[in-house]
Structure 1
């Protein structure tokens, strides 16, 4: 087979076709994970996609590349579910509640996917898939905090610490709840997390001599950059 030459149009079509096939296989992987759980095998994914296993790995460098593509898709899903956070409106409590509800809702709906990413973080040689997902969320949340810290004329250097702390708190508590969901209702969990996050932010503001009514509207924040 003749390889497509750069500039003749075939290279772009080839790359586009490969990306489409990769996306289709990731779709199949998500369905297989939902059905078979975090220990899903490449054979399960290939069966769900309706192809032989060798065809699956023609589109991915190796198992780690496939896991990375799955993690990227999970990140996209979570980012979309948290859209109200990236364009904040309303009071502090409304913003926090919307974010917590979105995260716990996604986790409840995609529990096996979360477990899959966590498992591959534990067995991977580097930081891992779920850690990367949380990092993307925390970095975006940092931009939101930077905006409001600037509005209140506070030191924006604390924004990353705040955002990673909030993401870590919500994620670790929600992940624990996922393994024992009957101990608390999702609504009660979300209410607890909303209060805890507010107390963390409130303490930060009060330490700088600023008091904010959590139920009064805040100035609208600018959209978070991609």
Structure 2
């Protein structure tokens, strides 16, 4: 059986090609167009290469500043990390939003490339799912502040931009990963004889599921390890996805591996059954109180 990694690489290429070009690049392109596409001289080419390299260095420095100071990092901290001034930074970026967008785009591309690498050579649907879940959780575990920075910019960007200004839209984690996952699901559905047209809502739902669980875990790391969470989420998701393949007449195992869902001690199980028999409904007042208490902590 083949894999959909080739199409995943297409996602990365499409994502990076959709990124708004730096102002310097646009100016160079406009100038070439104005002069009938005339060949630029060596000096202009050297300047363009220098500008591209310097922008890359500043993006790396900004990412390092996010890691050190957190998602709410300021321009002064970014400049200090880059060992330069804000004035110099603004020679290579039109404004603060331009730099933030560049950092977010690099982070998103980094994550996608990690997902593609994790999926390389994986052939079974269940293993593909597990590899993808683990790759995402590894990224937010190893670079949590970068993840928070990107998601904050995505939210701010979506609220601030008009539909006409799509060029400045941040290349975000959820939409790009959703595209990759949808393509993976569509690939396996098609070779299993299933109509892949409904792969997209599956992909979007899976990404939202994993992202929400990941956000919760970043604030509750002591509740379980990353590997435990990865196995847990993969088992929950596969129980649904496996049903797709069973409906196509394929023989797949959807039972979770032993130990994924821990069993309560016998005494606790007896107590739980007794409580269930005593109160079969949900105590709404108690549930509301629990939510209020959780938010007040």
Tell me if TM exceeds 0.5: yes
Contact 1:32 1:48 in 2 (8 A): yes
Select which of 157, 161, 173 maps to 2:213. 173
Q: How does 1:51-70 map to 2 (within 5 A)?
A: 51-70=84-103
Cα distance between partner residues in 2 of 1:141 and 1:12: 39
Contact 2:245 2:252 in 1 (8 A): no
Structure 1 residue 210 and structure 2 residue 243: aligned?
no
Select which of 58, 64, 71 maps to 1:31. 64
1:162 match = 202
Instruction: Give the superposed CA RMSD.
Output: 2.3
Contact 2:194 2:248 in 1 (8 A): no
Higher relative contact order (CA 8 A, sep 6+): 1
Cα distance between partner residues in 2 of 1:212 and 1:110: 39
Q: How does 1:25-174 map to 2 (within 5 A)?
A: 25-84=58-117, 86-124=119-157, 125-126=160-161, 129=170, 132-174=172-214
Cα distance between partner residues in 2 of 1:166 and 1:200: 11
Select which of 38, 54, 79 maps to 1:21. 54
Contact 2:119 2:132 in 1 (8 A): no
Instruction: Classify 1:85/1:214 alpha carbon distance in 2 versus 1 (closer, same or farther; 3 Å).
Output: farther
Instruction: Classify 1:212/1:134 alpha carbon distance in 2 versus 1 (closer, same or farther; 3 Å).
Output: farther
Instruction: Classify 1:21/1:191 alpha carbon distance in 2 versus 1 (closer, same or farther; 3 Å).
Output: same
Instruction: Classify 1:185/1:79 alpha carbon distance in 2 versus 1 (closer, same or farther; 3 Å).
Output: same
Higher-helix-fraction structure? 2
Select which of 212, 221, 225 maps to 1:185. 225
Q: Deviations over 1:131-158 (max 9, x none)?
A: x222112212222222212111211111
Contact 1:88 1:95 in 2 (8 A): no
Contact 1:91 1:214 in 2 (8 A): no
Number of aligned residue pairs: 211
Task: For residue 79 of structure 1, report the CA deviation from its aligned partner.
Answer: 1.4
Which is higher, the Rg of structure 1 or of structure 2? 2
SS in 1 for 2:92: coil
